[in-house]
Amino acid sequence: MTEIFNASDLSKALDLPALGSAFLNADNIPWQDSDEPGFLMKPLLQDEISHMRTWLMKVEPGAFSKLHAHEEYEQVYVLSGSFYDQEHEYGPGDFIVRAPGAMHTAGSTDGALVLLFYSVIKPR
């Protein structure tokens, strides 16, 4: 796999709660640079045991990432703006899910805000 999106500071992200609920005010977390220019991250949940991740990602206008893949399932929900890959352009309310290892690009012409979920699911 060629993972290219890595947040620089995971210290503010939540772990999965063992009981009850966990709360995080995302407005209080600064945007972090990723390994790819023009893609900024806010790690909301980062659980090392389950390998679950939930990130808010801001894609700056004109940002583009080369062909890459993730080891987990990737779920993308577009909150605002426009977001594209090599197959389609997506807008607010669009939802994309990719299997582990699915090669794809990512980018935005006008800028976008997306919610990302990464999870490992054992094969059936």
Considering the domain boundaries, does residue 51 fall inside one? yes
Long-range Cβ contacts of 8-13 (<8 Å, 24+ apart): 8/32, 8/33, 8/34, 8/41, 9/43, 10/43, 10/46, 12/43, 13/43, 13/44, 13/45, 13/46
Total domains present in the chain: 1
In-domain check, residue 38: yes
What is the CATH number for 105? 2.60.120.10
Question: Where does the pLDDT of residue 18 fall: very low under 50, low under 70, confident under 90, or very high at 90 and above?
Answer: confident
Tell me, yes or no, whether 21 lies in a domain.
no
Measured between alpha carbons, how far is 113 from 49 in angstroms, rounded to an integer?
Answer: 27
More confident residue, 7 or 56: 56
Task: Indicate whether 1 pLDDT > 50.
Answer: no
Question: Over 80: is that where the pLDDT of 12 sits?
Answer: no
Asked if the model's pLDDT at residue 7 lies above 60, the reply is: no
With respect to residue 76, please indicate whether it lies within any of the assigned structural domains: yes
The pLDDT value given to residue 106 = 97
Q: How does pLDDT run across 25-73, given as a tens digit for each residue?
A: 999 999 999 989 999 999 999 988 888 999 999 999 999 999 999 999 9
Q: Report yes or no on 70 lying in a domain.
A: yes
Residues spanned by the domain of 39: 28-119
Residue 6 has a pLDDT of: 53
pLDDT tens track for 76-113 = 999 999 999 999 999 999 999 999 999 999 999 999 99
